[in-house]
Amino acid sequence: MKKTIAVLLALVFAIAAFTGCAQPAAQEPAAEQPAAEAPAASEEAPAAEAAPENIQLESLTLYFVPSREPDEIVTITEPLKELLKTEMANQGYDVGTVEIFVGTTYEAVGEALAAGTADIGFGMPGGTYVLYDDGADVILTSTRDGLSKDSDNAKDWNDGQPTLPSEEQAVSYRALMIAGPSEKGQAVAAKVNAGEELTWDDINGLNWSVMNSSSSAGYIYPALWMQERYGKGITDLANAVQSDSYGSAFARLASGQVDALMTYADARRDYEEKWTTEYARTASIWEETNVIGVTPGIYNDTITVSKTVPYMDDALKAVGMYEYREHAPHLLSGGQKQRVAIAGVIAMQPRCIVLDEPTAMLDPIGRADVLRTIKTLNRERGVTVVLITHHMDEAAQADRLVVMHDGRVVRDGPPAQVFQDVDGLRALGLEVPESVALMYELRKSGVDAPLDALDVESCAAALQKLLSEGT
């Protein structure tokens, strides 16, 4: 199934690109074909083979990373729904509905894939994918210009010759740990070029420049590289300073303020000229810097599929948290940790549970699943659940709503009662559910609309009643 989807999506993108830049060609009349001869009366015509039936898929859920405004993404991708259904049918899959969502964060898309609430994720960068590779598989990735050097051996990068672009396209790139012209940097580089393995003391003895913790090449992959070799990470380094840009990192390297930095593989090409002009070095960047560490390839922006969705691959099965019972906690994603935490509390059979923002960092479908679990816990097991949240749609589902401000209780009662004080809540910096906000605006316009419509269904019923009454 995954291979089929990969081929399909490649076709979809090819079609989209074509239709975006060309007009459809005029239809050519079909060439006349010789009529097929009918079988002789004495001959039996072979029975026609029955065409295999398409596999039925109730739905296909797509998640896009928030690379631009969500409404813009949803609007632009709307034609993709029918195109995917058509092409999937050609591949042997009848899809009932195609749903498109935009994750609140890049990580939310990874969480959705890992949880199985998303089937396909679009645009996830390699640095995010590596956090969720247990729950997602890459099926397509964007390409970029390759480089003349692509070895996983640091010494192979240190011949003094510039790293040049190649004619081949690459689906990944590497992160490099680069030592500069300082005395410490040169000493460590000499060990690498002599074929010696670096120790943790060698790495820890350098002054490092790193990027922020969300940077694939400037933090995440180098941290994994260190963890794999030394069992330690960037936070264990004795001296590491965060730079606000690669430009400032190379400036620090050139001045000797740091001995080494973490960056993407072709960064030295980008800062080659500045090295001798703006940074005032007399020798070239290729002569004065050396690679001392190379990470595995980092995927370019990807299209990924969930491993936890059963129909993505017959060999894969949907998993809950039971499969992760022997995993180290640090290997679990944020959403998985939340679910494990709730399960651990349930196992103690408590009478009351306090949950502080349990749906944080989860995608909309994941949030809904957690809330259903909480409701079941309350309704069927009789457990009192105290839920702390800033999501008003979640608060609206409670039996009792308590609003606190500056450590004091300022509202207390059923949600339908509390949310009627729209102005008071807004003065506290809180919003009301969208359905209540709509009714409130109608009231301001002179319509006697109720303010206790806390969800879409009750809002629709109230509007229908107002229309039937001719309001």
Decide: helix, strand or coil at residue 305: strand
Cβ-contact 306, 312 below 8 angstroms: yes
Domains 152-298 and 322-389 share a fold: no
User: Is pTM beyond 0.75 here?
Assistant: no
The region, left, alpha or beta by phi > 0 then psi within -120 to 50, assigned to residue 260 is: beta
Give the pLDDT confidence score for residue 112 in this predicted structure: 87
Give the pLDDT confidence score for residue 216 in this predicted structure: 83
Sign of CA dihedral 120, 126, 132, 133: positive
Q: Which CATH class is domain 152-298?
A: alpha beta
Decide: helix, strand or coil at residue 351: coil
Phi then psi for residue 423, to 5 deg, are -65, -40
**Tokens 């960037």 -> residue:** 234
Give the pLDDT confidence score for residue 11 in this predicted structure: 44
Distance of CA 293 to the CA centre of its chain: 27
> In the numeric block, which tokens belong to residue 134?
């247990």
What are the per-10-residue average pLDDT scores of the chain (471 residues)? Answer: 50 37 34 37 46 78 81 85 85 87 84 86 78 80 82 92 87 92 97 96 96 83 93 94 90 96 93 94 96 90 72 32 48 58 59 80 69 76 83 85 87 86 84 82 81 78 79 59
Query: Which CATH superfamily groups domain 322-389?
Result: P-loop containing nucleotide triphosphate hydrolases (3.40.50.300)
Give the pLDDT confidence score for residue 245 in this predicted structure: 85
Q: How far is Cα 97 from Cα 84, in angstroms, rounded to an integer?
A: 10
The region, left, alpha or beta by phi > 0 then psi within -120 to 50, assigned to residue 92 is: left
Give the pLDDT confidence score for residue 25 in this predicted structure: 34
Give the pLDDT confidence score for residue 30 in this predicted structure: 33
Give the pLDDT confidence score for residue 12 in this predicted structure: 45
Give the pLDDT confidence score for residue 307 in this predicted structure: 74
Give the pLDDT confidence score for residue 187 in this predicted structure: 97
Give the pLDDT confidence score for residue 265 in this predicted structure: 92
Give the pLDDT confidence score for residue 183 in this predicted structure: 96
Domain boundaries, the chain: 1-13+54-142+300-319, 152-298, 322-389, 401-468
DSSP state of 91: T
DSSP string, 407-459: TEEEEEE-HHHHTT-HHHHHHTT----HHHHHHHHHHHTT----S---SHHHH
> In the numeric block, which tokens belong to residue 371?
């809330």
Sign of CA dihedral 111, 112, 117, 120: negative
Q: Would you tell me which CATH number, out of the four given (1.10.3470, 1.10.260, 3.40.190, 1.10.10), belongs to the domain 1-13+54-142+300-319?
A: 3.40.190
Give the pLDDT confidence score for residue 349 in this predicted structure: 60
